[in-house]
Amino acid sequence: MSERILLKFGGSVITDKKTDCAINYEQLSFVASSITRAITGKGLVIIHGAGSCGHPEAKLYRLDNGAVAGQTEGVYITHRAVSRLNGAVVEAFREKGVPAVGVHPLHAAVADNGRLIAFEYRHLEKMLLLGMVPVIHGDVVMDLSRGACIVSGDQLVRYLAVALKIDRVGLATDVPGVLDGGRVVPEISQKMVPYLQIGNSMHTDVTGGMRGKIDELLGLADAGIGSDIFHVLRIGDFLAGVDHGGTKVKGR
Ligand code: IP8
């Protein structure tokens, strides 16, 4: 069977986080071109974050507190914002010949206390077998305890990389890797984390920025799957399996 790759790019890579839902079409087109050049013969799953299309809405409607009957507008508004971004990603990919199709976690997943407890993935398996490229995104998801919650793209990476038996996981960001005092940390493991000075996102981010990402990836490493964090301009290098100048999160 061909190699399976999961590529996630952050919302800050494809939106301008300073303005509400400002999609960066130029960057999206660059990402799409990098993927087109590299996907032949590979099974590819894409996950993207929300950036300015979802985080401001989730914050405004206090979805971190969940949702109660009669106050569910935020579920709809937040899902609508991030779905709009997902539609733009799928369109940009298809324009470059990538057989992308959007998949929304709100329709396929269930959470409890802010954590995913189920995500139907049999349809994703079938898509991969047919050579399709599912494009999934951080989303609002119904939550058994809280009513609703936000599930980040990074949490989805952790869950779906295991479920879909992914061979290589890559996260493209707007920085060259995990930075400690401005320098890229080439390799990261659980025991190093307390000693690193990891900055937090300056923009509206309800799901924890770089720190949240590292926590999810260390969890994934515990499950035996390593991952790579690199600058979006190095997507081509990651897909080609060559040095990307970023950070490796080591699996067992
Ligand atoms: O940008 C958040 O996903 P992330 C999803 O990957 C929403 O943290 C809807 C805010």
DSSP string, 79-102: HHHHHHHHHHHHHHHHHTT--EEE
Neighbours of 96 (CB within 10 A): 16
Ligand 1 binding pocket includes 209 (Cβ within 6 Å): no
- Residue 250 alpha carbon to ligand 1 centre in Å: 24
- Residue 252 alpha carbon to ligand 1 centre in Å: 28
CA 226, CA 29: separation in Å to the nearest integer?
A: 28
Q: Which are the contacts of 208, defined by CB distance < 8 A and separation ≥ 6?
A: 152, 215
Mean pLDDT of the chain: 92
Residue 37 maps to which CATH number? 3.40.1160.10
Mean pLDDT computed over 219-240: 95
Ligand 1 binding pocket includes 143 (Cβ within 6 Å): no
Q: What is the pLDDT of residue 208?
A: 62
Structural domain boundaries enclosing 216 = 3-249
**pLDDT tens digits, residue range 129-159?**
999 999 999 999 999 999 999 999 999 999 9
**pLDDT tens digits, residue range 67-102?**
999 999 999 999 999 999 999 999 999 999 999 999
- Residue 210 alpha carbon to ligand 1 centre in Å: 13
Probe ligand 1: pick from 53, 139, 156, 216, max atoms within 8 Å of CB? 139
* Atom from ligand 1 closest to the CA of residue 57: 10
Answer yes or no: are the C-beta atoms of 74 and 36 closer than 8 Å: no
Answer yes or no: are the C-beta atoms of 152 and 208 closer than 8 Å: yes
H helix or E strand, kind and range, residue 181:
none
Confidence grade of residue 109 (pLDDT, cut at 50, 70, 90): very high
Q: Which are the contacts of 238, defined by CB distance < 8 A and separation ≥ 6?
A: 7, 168, 170, 172, 228, 230, 244
- Residue 45 alpha carbon to ligand 1 centre in Å: 17
Q: What is the pLDDT of residue 202?
A: 42
**pLDDT tens digits, residue range 14-45?**
999 788 899 999 999 999 999 998 888 889 99
Among 61-65, 186-190, 201-205, 237-241, the range scoring the smallest mean pLDDT is 201-205
Closest to 134 measured CA to CA, from 143, 125, 144, 145: 125
- Residue 51 alpha carbon to ligand 1 centre in Å: 7
Q: What is the pLDDT of residue 200?
A: 53
Question: Over pLDDT 70: what percentage of the chain?
Answer: 95
Neighbours of 49 (CB within 10 A): 28
0.85 exceeded by pTM: yes
Question: What are the distances in angstroms from CA 195 to CA 42, 185, 207?
Answer: 37, 12, 22
Number of structural domains in the chain: 1
- Residue 1 alpha carbon to ligand 1 centre in Å: 32
CA 227, CA 252: separation in Å to the nearest integer?
A: 11
Q: What is the pLDDT of residue 82?
A: 98
Ligand 1 binding pocket includes 188 (Cβ within 6 Å): no
Among 55-64, 200-209, 219-228, 242-251, the range scoring the smallest mean pLDDT is 200-209
